[in-house]
Amino acid sequence: MQASEAEKPRIVILISGNGSNMQAIAEAVQNQEIDAEIAGIISNRPQAEGLSKAQAMGLHTDIIDHTLYVSREEFDHALIRMIEDLKPDLVVLAGFMRILTADFTRYFEGNLLNIHPSLLPKYQGLNTHQRALDAGDNEHGVTVHFVTEELDGGPNAIQAVIPILDIDNAKALQQRIQIQEHIIYPIAVKWFCEGRLNMNGQLAFLDGQELPTSGIQLHS
Ligand code: GRF
């Protein structure tokens, strides 16, 4: 039986900028590829381009400007309250450019996903495309993972792997990676909303099977 609207898992998406991953997930929900409800989009930047995209899709949006808070802790506690008001089952970080406190990550642990443009555990942090090029890697990619206290360190759910070409630069890699982001993030969210993907004891499971360190890998 199809779950009624009230029973659908509620997703809150946090953004800071362009919001293309938010859009990919919200479109998958609107197209009924994901049986869920977008409870709201929250941006810490009032000017984030993603906000107008969300509004154009008819989604609820909230702004919480981090510059108005005296400390990271105060901001994170206000953010927790704002998210809780939307009664989420899943919180999705989609280009949310804030380092989160342990209070925040512990609060939502197991229900908090992030996307990071590298084949984690490789290249945590910034400038991932250039670092992969500088290292002479022949593969690069993007990872959806559960968020824990360790920055870019929680268990992986899914990765897209692409070859690095001789002619590649950071910009070209970023563009090809972003295409993959819009494929794998909706997949991970769908798995979670179907109850297939979960985190337990710092490990990720799909259909009850412990996932390898890489998560499920899609190669292109
Ligand atoms: C993506 O490249 C993602 O990997 C990184 O931030 C970027 C967000 O892009 N975490 P967008 O705002 O979803 O377009």
pLDDT tens track for 127-173:
999 999 999 999 999 999 999 999 889 999 999 999 999 999 999 99
Query: CB neighbours of 143 closer than 8 A, spacing ≥ 6?
Result: 115, 116, 118, 119, 120, 156, 157, 158, 159, 215
pLDDT tens track for 21-80:
999 999 999 999 999 999 999 999 999 999 999 999 999 999 999 999 999 999 999 999
**Ligand 1 pocket, Cβ-based, cut-off 6 angstroms:** 15, 17-21, 50, 94-95, 115-117, 142, 178, 181
**What CATH code is carried by the domain that includes residue 178?**
3.40.50.170
pLDDT tens track for 111-127:
999 999 999 999 999 99
* Ligand 1 atom 6: residue of nearest CA: 95
Q: How many domains does the chain have?
A: 2
Same domain? For 157 and 182 the reply is yes
Q: In what order do the strands lie in the sheet with 197-200?
A: 197-200, 203-206, 209-210
Q: Which residues pair with 203 in a beta bridge?
A: 200
162 assigned to some structural domain: yes
Catalytic residues: 116
Tell me, what's the pLDDT at 38?
98
pLDDT tens track for 207-218:
999 999 999 999
Q: Ligand 1, closest atom to CA 18?
A: 12
* Structural contact between residues 132 and 85, judged by C-beta atoms closer than 8 angstroms: no
77 assigned to some structural domain: yes
Tell me, what's the pLDDT at 7?
86
Domain interval for residue 41: 8-108
Same domain? For 88 and 130 the reply is no
Q: 133-168: b or e for each residue (b if 16 or more CB lie within 10 Å)?
A: beeebeebbbbbbbbbeeebbbbbbbbbbbebeeeb
| Three-state secondary-structure class, residue 164 | coil
Tell me, what's the pLDDT at 204?
98
Global confidence as pTM: 0.96
